[in-house]
Amino acid sequence: MERIYASYWLETGDDPARAAEVIAGEQSSGTFVALPTETPELKQRSGARVERLEILGYSKEPSLPGGMRSERYTQCELEISWPLENLGPSLPNLMATIAGNLFELRQVSGLRLTGLRLPPAFARAYQGPAFGIAGTRRLTGIAHGPLIGTIIKPSIGLSVDETVQQVRELVAGGVDFIKDDELQVDGARCPFDERVRGVMRIINQHADRTGKKVMMAFNLTGDLDQMRRRHDLVLAEGGTCVMASLNSIGLIGLQELRRHSQLPIHAHRAGWGYLSRCPQLGWDYAPWQMLWRLAGADHMHVNGLRNKFSEPDDSVIAAARSVLSPVMPEAPLPAMPVFSSGQTGLQAADTYKAIGCTDLIHTAGGGIFGHPQGVAAGVSALREAWVAAIEGVPLEQYAERRPALQAALGFWK
């Protein structure tokens, strides 16, 4: 029988083995009292199993408020498995199973979902990314190296004409990828339809002149009908990418967008902090991103090294590696990691060294727009920083004969 396996970091003031069994029961056939209908046969068939429980250490105080009081709290690694037949290959019901009421149990003073293994039935049930790395490279014409990207800045407040002018400068400057900010969708000052038509006119004209079509990820986040209609407009205007905020549209929203979409889906993780920032609660990125790749995300945000947020570099690298790793042996479902947040060329060498490839989008907002010689120089400097990283040449040395990069080093630092 096929099974689903989930791993957790658990802290409990109860006996760890008893707490693990309570969690397994709560998330399958059990409840707070023994019931005559929960027969041994039913429990054997449908109950969750504690597969592994390893003690890591102890603390005197609970990591989270509420719940049972104890003189000592035990921290453990826990693995639980469920029979696939309990829920079938369903992502929404998987979410309720592996990340449902167990977080609220009084025996739990800390719980974090750290790993997930799914049976092949999920790959048969879900389409996964339609484009991924290979399709993104094909549409942009960038066969090798990272895609050099940016975000329209300021994130919100520009008119359509001001946005179009910014795009005009970016495509003339040689950028590969542009995205809306997650805050910019369809406000009165910059309506979606007008923005798409104005921006695509510039991108298409540039493509006609040069043969290079810049990928613009238009943020279509909304209800299902809105997203379908907005996607169709982008497609009709010659666009090559759409963007959605995952925590806003949910798994069903992404699944339905994937079914409808003929374009790559750029998946933004806005709100990830409330799922992950407390180390003793929530999710690790690796299991979380698996669900979205199954549902159809082509690009996944992973933050960036030395970012403006709270996430440490080792977590960022682990996130990027998880996006580049197969979802399961039977279904790799490759997606492209997106590095962003306070990025410049100074992070290029460390990023390349850490993940060992260039299958990524590196987006810099201020790192490009703030260049003292202008936007084109900002794009060139970021691209040159990546060439230096790939060739293993120190950045200062590589900049000696490259004025744009030389000028960038001063303001990046």
Nearest to 87 by CA among 28, 43, 17, 15: 28
Q: First and final CA of the chain: distance in angstroms?
A: 56
Residue at a domain's end among 125, 143, 159: 125
Do 381 and 246 fall within a single domain?
yes
**55 neighbors 39 (Cβ within 8 angstroms):** no
Nearest to 57 by CA among 10, 113, 114: 10
The reported pLDDT for the residue numbered 1 is 79
Amino acid identity for residue 378 in this structure: G
One pLDDT digit (tens) per residue for the chain, 413 residues: 799 999 999 999 999 999 999 999 989 877 666 777 777 787 888 899 999 999 999 999 999 998 899 999 999 999 999 999 999 999 999 999 999 999 999 999 999 999 999 999 999 999 999 999 999 999 999 999 999 999 999 999 999 999 999 999 999 999 999 999 999 999 999 999 999 999 999 999 999 999 999 999 999 999 999 999 999 999 999 999 999 999 999 999 999 999 999 999 999 999 999 999 999 999 999 999 999 999 999 999 999 999 999 999 999 999 999 999 999 999 999 999 999 999 999 999 999 999 999 999 999 999 999 999 999 999 999 999 999 999 999 999 999 999 999 999 988 98
Do 179 and 318 fall within a single domain?
yes
Give the CATH number of the domain where residue 325 resides. Answer: 3.20.20.110
Do 138 and 113 fall within a single domain?
no
Do 218 and 259 fall within a single domain?
yes
Do 270 and 308 fall within a single domain?
yes
Residue at a domain's end among 64, 98, 125: 125
95 is in which domain, residue-wise? Answer: 3-125
Do 300 and 322 fall within a single domain?
yes
Residue at a domain's end among 90, 125, 160: 125
Do 50 and 118 fall within a single domain?
yes
Residue 104 structure tokens: 């609220």
- Entry pTM: 0.96
Do 149 and 57 fall within a single domain?
no
Residue 210 structure tokens: 């040069």
The reported pLDDT for the residue numbered 32 is 60
Give the CATH number of the domain where residue 62 resides. Answer: 3.30.70.150
The reported pLDDT for the residue numbered 31 is 63
Sign of CA dihedral 367, 372, 376, 381: negative
pLDDT tens-digit series, residues 27-61: 987 766 677 777 778 788 889 999 999 999 999 99
The reported pLDDT for the residue numbered 67 is 85
Kind of pairing between the strands at 147-151 and 177-179: parallel
Do 241 and 258 fall within a single domain?
yes
Q: How many domains does the chain have?
A: 2
pLDDT tens-digit series, residues 155-207: 999 999 999 999 999 999 999 999 999 999 999 999 999 999 999 999 999 99
Do 100 and 145 fall within a single domain?
no
Do 185 and 86 fall within a single domain?
no
Do 110 and 224 fall within a single domain?
no
